[in-house]
Structure 1
Amino acid sequence: MGEILLDVKDLKTRFRSRGSLVHAVNGVSFHLKRGETLGVVGESGCGKSVTMLSLLRLLPPAAQVDSGVALFQGQDLLKMNFGQIQKVRGAKIGLIFQDPMTSFNPVLTIGDQVGESLIYHRHASKEVALERAIELLRLVGIPDPEQRVRDFPHQFSGGMRQRAMIAMALACEPDLIIADEPTTALDVTIQAQIVELVKDLRDRLGVAIIWITHDLSLVAGLADRIMVMYAGQIVEEATTEELFDDPRHPYTLGLLSALPAFQAEKKVRRLASIPGSPPDLRKP
């Protein structure tokens, strides 16, 4: 886990909004080693998802990357043309989105969608892609994959759809998976199952993971390092153990104190909150 897989320096992304510029990502720098898991934590609107969408060039038309370098396996993602970045997405970098119901195509079977990247990137036949899709559904714990591979997304439960989304991300055996709040829409029990599944797959396959979330407790047992974002910037970065044992930034302290705790004593403390409002990113 010593080789640097992804090295991002001074990434800046802006949005045009009603005649003004919103500095959504403002000078973000970080790195990721092979096989490592990085948790990216922060409140909604802090720039977590925009950072990763910037790297993969999946931003909406109103957004633009102003500056930065993003070296992935020695190549700058931000300087690739459309054809080059298309060969990276899905093949070398897999994506797991927050809501699989809207991410899957409702009129195509799960098998067709899991196998699609194999046909596009590996030039596999439909038959080979279908067999691989069955193997992947079995790998992520979906029962009776030979039958379920022919089902449509609406026929899967929320947890099973997310498992299928993970299978799709793994189809081309990528070196990196970016998971954008993949458990937000799931109940706590299913969340724990998905996290355990991802941990197991990481250990078995050696894939690096960037896990985006607003929930510090969720990445506590998953991430090797945690990066805390606030107002488009990284305010703290440390190993998971260091961050929980000795947090340095006031915002990190606020996030930790806001975590609910189960206490045996009769006097239960009030759930903490972070006072104030986020800054106006039009005037960073």
Structure 2
Amino acid sequence: MFRVGKFAWAGALALAVVALPAAAQLSNQAGVGGAVPSLPEGAPILLYDQNNNPAGNGAPDQNFEAAFDIYDSEAGDDFEVTFADGWTIEQVTTVGTQSTGGTATSVDVFFYPDLAGFPDTGAGATCTFTGVVPTSQTGGSYVVDLPAPCILPMGFHWLTMISNQTFGGGNGQHFWSNRSVLSNSGGVWRNPGNGFGSGCTDFDRQTTCGVGGGAAPDFLFQILGMEGGAGGGDGGEVLDIPTLDVVGLVALLALLAGAALYAMRRKATN
């Protein structure tokens, strides 16, 4: 299980890697790229699109069974909320691959604030969605409908993902496909148990960690939802339009009726 609390004893688990059979030594790169998933009919508005310029590789982002806990890893990339009133995020898509055609049981999705070009894990996730079953998964590419909207203010934020998937039984590894072009800050990756031997036990650039081929700076993903939801706006004045209660309405009608009767009498005397 991928949980931060267990990493204190991850060093002891690291000793177990030498006992794993050669066939069980996991890979830190896919070697191939995935296909962009098709959006279902009626999908939300596309707010941010980074599903272009594929690098033809990918980095592991998987929560394994207990026997392979030291390989548990997480990947992420940043995006900019450009609307003054923020975004209401309802869906995300990612491009990925599977090493042996396996499938994920579910995915964990996190949104973090930005801190100097990295996810601000110290502040904690703004939105956390664990155990979400993808709406669709084809060859490792996901369409994920969030169980509740994630409302983010204007500015930079991070999407991080974990695929909950066993390795044993031929299910294999999942990889998040990466991108050859850099947008904003470079994609990040971490493997707290250091099973891959990268030294990236906390978030660092995937290029620094040497995963996914070690050259591609970003990941492939999309953010969908709608503009607004986080307040803000242009600061314009909101007009306070007065309204009438029942008594006021009756008084107004009586006044209008009196004025009409007065006008009729004046007309009759002329």
Normalising TM by the smaller chain, what interval?
Answer: under 0.3
Which structure's relative contact order is higher, taking Cα pairs within 8 Å and 6+ residues apart? 2
State which structure, 1 or 2, has the greater radius of gyration over its C-alpha atoms: 2
Q: Which has the higher strand share?
A: 2
TM-score, structure 2 as length reference: 0.25
